[in-house]
Amino acid sequence: MRSILRRFAFVAAITVFAALASLNVKAVTPNPVLIFLGQEAATVRGQNIVRYRYGVFNVSDFPNDLFAPAPALPSCGANTNSSRSWVDLFDQRGKRLNGFCALGNRDGLDSIWFALPEGEVPPSWIYIEINDRQTETKYKSNLAETTM
């Protein structure tokens, strides 16, 4: 009798495991964890600027299709093939500093930035929002510093 119960329990466990494995469970996309990568001086059209560079620590948690071209969605200026998700950088008070509308894939999250004229004091903290325009979902990051 014990042998039959063990076999039944074993078959039941395999059946439950197989049923759970066959479910189409989508991974939940987390909020981005923003990190400061550094700053660099540059000259753009004759103006000296400081570019503040950022990355997303958990970049591998974001599916590439979030950044795939989305020609059916509204364009980004003249770019009619902008990505499904746009990324905006804000200071701690919510003032938009820069935006990216055509990253192409999640790896672009490791090369986002904003720039200020040389000598201008940057905000103490910034955050980003990833706006999935297809699902109307926004992912907001933590606050990250502008200095190391």
22: its two tokens: 């066959």
DSSP character at residue 61: G
Mean of per-residue pLDDT scores for the chain:
87
Query: Do residues 42 and 117 make contact, with C-beta atoms less than 8 angstroms apart?
Result: no
Q: Please list the ranges in the chain whose pLDDT falls under 70.
A: 1-26
The pLDDT assigned to 92 comes to 97
What's the half-sphere exposure (Cβ side, CA atoms, 13 Å) at 60? 0
Model-level pTM? 0.81
CA distances from 55 to 33, 59, 62, 77, 108 (A): 8, 8, 13, 25, 9
CATH code reported for the domain at 29-145: 2.60.40
The pLDDT assigned to 148 comes to 76
In this structure, which amino acid lies at residue 96?
R
